[in-house]
Structure 1
Amino acid sequence: CTASALSFTLYTLSRHAAIQAKVYAEQQHIFGTVTAEELANVSSIGCEHLEQMRYLEFVIRETLRLYPSVPLIARTNRKAIDINGTKIAKRTTVIMCLIAMGYNEKYFDEPTAFRPERWEHINTDEAAGLQAFNSVPFSAGPRRCIAEKYAMYELKSLLAMIVRNLEILPAADGLPSGINDHSRLDCVPQSEYDPILNIRVTLKSENGIQLRLKRRANANK
């Protein structure tokens, strides 16, 4: 799951240079006084640094809205229930398609727009109630992924190291955003370099994640 989330986050960053610049600026703000030698020592980077990477977390969550690592979640109810008039018999397996939820205009305005800022309210009262369930890449409730915090720390650590040292570029110059509404059967990629999703236990791209990497001038040698 982490590999999928990492790959698709690199993809979204490669297609959104201004957003990548904000992520890099946040890294510079956090580690501006840390030497290259200290950064090379992973033990010098702690949870206090990872907690400061708020904008990077917004980027990760926005990516998971569009490309959830686990695209389908199944639950079997123990007793008959009624959800807004829809009766569901006992022992019925209900499957949620997180991709369909992520591209639903009912829950997200301009769903094909990559806007990390939409997650700024995540730890505020605005996220209370049903709105908190609009995007659940780690599931929700008592059976949500117990490793969510660890996974977020892991993703932040890897992405921070990559962004500090490498510029993430699209596979070719002049490509569009590459965000396609994958909830539609008639979804057509904007370019040949856009991922073709394979929805299985974990989300994959049939044609890989295509991008380029360029070492930054001040990167660690």
Structure 2
Amino acid sequence: MFRLNLWKIRRFLVKFGGIGRAFAKSIAVAEWKWRIRRAYKMPEATGDIRAVVGEPFFVPLYKLFLSYGGVFRLKFGPKSFVIVSDPLVAKHILKDNSKSYSKGILAEILEFVMGKGLIPADGEIWRVRRRAIVPALHRKYVVAMLDLFGRAADNLCKKLDTAANDGEDVEMESLFSRLTLDIIGKAVFNYEFDSLSNDTGIIEAVYDVLREAEARSTALIPYWNIPIVKDLFPRQRKVSASLKLINEILDDLINICKRMVEEENVQFHEEYVNERDPSILHFLLASGDDVSSKQLRDDLMTMLIAGHETSAAVLTWAFFLLAQNPEVTMKLQMEVDSVLGDRLPTIEDMKNLKYTTRVINEALRLYPQPPVLIRRSLGNDVLGQYHIKKDEDIFISVWNLHRSPHYWADADQFKPERWPVNGPNPNENTENFSYLPFGGGPRKCVGDMFATFEIVTATAMLIRRFNFELSVGAPPVGMTTGATIHTTEGLKMTVTHRIRPPVIPVMQVPMLTVVDESGLIKSYNASNGSVTVLNPAIQEGKLNQNEININE
């Protein structure tokens, strides 16, 4: 309460110009010093390192959170991390004091993959690249993408038709990865990966580099920085080959698009879309974006990996949850039947697929992608009541925030109804940092609307046509991590054609008055099936010519 009041006082003083701002600054400095003086020693988690690395790292972090609280230090070997599972502290780092934190170890981990792309970049590079990329995601572009989402999902439906006809089980995680790769290929590069039909090798290449990034985040010795030693490891040679494949594809796409832009003679404007090539790459080149080929490739690599990896993971876990909650699936199918019928979704449908969106909101709560956000302090600060110094590496556990029993009733249960369908989209809440499906603050994911519409479209179209069940005899669905949460052995499902209930037309019949055996006079409304008793006390009399006796 004390902090809140000081914040209000500072806001009030700023309105009075220079003198007011000076007083507000003095109060802020005094508050900061007071917080420093009252800071306590941060709890430190101790134990065997194998307890952390023996399973997906965010799972033991949850167990430690329950023991040590919302802010604690985790040390193993020479490495030390501050683990944050408190929404107020997360808000301080990601929003209120975001300029005092960099991507830190995340930038170091991803540098070999994404270079200075939008996710790992910091400072001025990030600001410049964000200003260049965000305008490409304008409404006209998103509308164009809805058609792409629908057609890509329809391609997956055709593939599942064959499996359903043949009675074969399918591994859905890999299919979702191929679906989202095909979408991101067209949306970002105007490139037809066609991975649902052909194995280009690009998916495995992407997974290779993501798995390597996670391995490097917890390695005690950065042996990959030693050229001679690095080449001795088969895994490193495989990662190098995967990166070479991805970069060659990106270079080819950039060159093709440059030639196309040079050939066209169209005035660029803020909602510019080339009908032949509505991709983000085309937008950036047509805008005259002054960027080096290396930076452009870094940006595209970031969009390629982050854009398809996260959406595929969300779909995987959403369908895993739906398979275990048939009552949610039935409610979802009823909404999709009502809103879409047999056509592809439009931008207007996104507003009406409310329950579908809440299902995805809830899937993202239980299986956030990514499960951890990484930052590094650029100076001294206080997190809650604990003082930290410059260059502290911080893990904000989104998994812990989303499953905390302190902030969520029935935290481990899948309940889309916890989000009112007529309420605001929880992703659009900028103050509640107990829910961070796309991050928060200035560095919140710029493609959150794109991803949400993509996932909602795919979910609606698949659920409309098929029933999904976990395959009998398949191994339990376990978790492992790359940059996102994967399954350990895939998501094996039995897919069957759904028989939709027939739509029975309502006859336009006027309200009828009838008399039953006991003599009660009733009014029957054919449009909604309601019956009203007109004479609770039995009355005598005869029906007139407009009345019909129900017993005749």
Decide whether the 8 Å contact of 2:376 with 2:392 is kept in 1: yes
Decide whether the 8 Å contact of 2:402 with 2:434 is kept in 1: yes
**Cα distance in 2 between the residues matched to 1:192 and 1:166:** 20
Q: Which runs of 5+ in 1 are unaligned?
A: 173-190
Look up the match of 2:424: 123
Decide whether the 8 Å contact of 1:71 with 1:200 is kept in 2: no
Do the aligned partners of residues 117 and 71 (structure 1) sit closer, same or farther apart at CA in structure 2, a change above 3 Å counting?
A: same
What is the aligned residue count?
A: 190
Q: Which runs of 5+ in 2 are unaligned?
A: 1-309, 502-552
Decide whether the 8 Å contact of 2:377 with 2:392 is kept in 1: yes
Look up the match of 1:97: 397
Secondary structure of the 2:348 match is helix
**Cα distance in 1 between the residues matched to 2:469 and 2:425:** 33
Q: Which residue identity is paired with 2:447? A: A
Q: Which has the higher contact order (CA 8 A, sep 6+)?
A: 1
Q: Which residue identity is paired with 2:366? A: L
Secondary structure of the 1:133 match is coil
Q: Which residue identity is paired with 1:217? A: I
**Cα distance in 2 between the residues matched to 1:194 and 1:123:** 36
Of 298, 301, 317 in structure 2, the residue corresponding to residue 8 of structure 1 is 317
Q: Answer with 1 or 2: which has the greater Rg.
A: 2
**Cα distance in 1 between the residues matched to 2:429 and 2:361:** 17
Let me know the Cα RMSD of the aligned residues: 2.4
Alignment of 1:43-54 (within 5 A): 45-54=345-354
Decide whether the 8 Å contact of 1:71 with 1:199 is kept in 2: no
Decide whether the 8 Å contact of 2:474 with 2:492 is kept in 1: no
**Cα distance in 1 between the residues matched to 2:338 and 2:500:** 15
Look up the match of 1:178: none
Deviation sequence 1:48-77 (CA, Å, 0-9, x none): 102211111111111111111211110123
Which contiguous aligned blocks of 4+ residues in structure 1 show a shift greater than 4 angstroms?
127-130
Do the aligned partners of residues 140 and 129 (structure 1) sit closer, same or farther apart at CA in structure 2, a change above 3 Å counting?
A: closer
Do the aligned partners of residues 160 and 124 (structure 1) sit closer, same or farther apart at CA in structure 2, a change above 3 Å counting?
A: closer
Look up the match of 2:484: 202
Of 451, 459, 478 in structure 2, the residue corresponding to residue 151 of structure 1 is 451
Of 370, 380, 390 in structure 2, the residue corresponding to residue 70 of structure 1 is 370
Look up the match of 1:24: 333
Alignment of 1:204-219 (within 5 A): 204-218=486-500
Look up the match of 2:462: 162
Decide whether the 8 Å contact of 1:194 with 1:210 is kept in 2: no
Decide whether the 8 Å contact of 1:195 with 1:209 is kept in 2: yes
Higher helix share: 2
Shift, 1:151, TM fit: 0.1
Q: Which residue identity is paired with 1:199? A: T
Shift, 1:101, TM fit: 2.1
Shift, 1:129, TM fit: 7.2
Deviation sequence 1:181-210 (CA, Å, 0-9, x none): xxxxxxxxxx97442111331111112113
Shift, 1:138, TM fit: 0.7
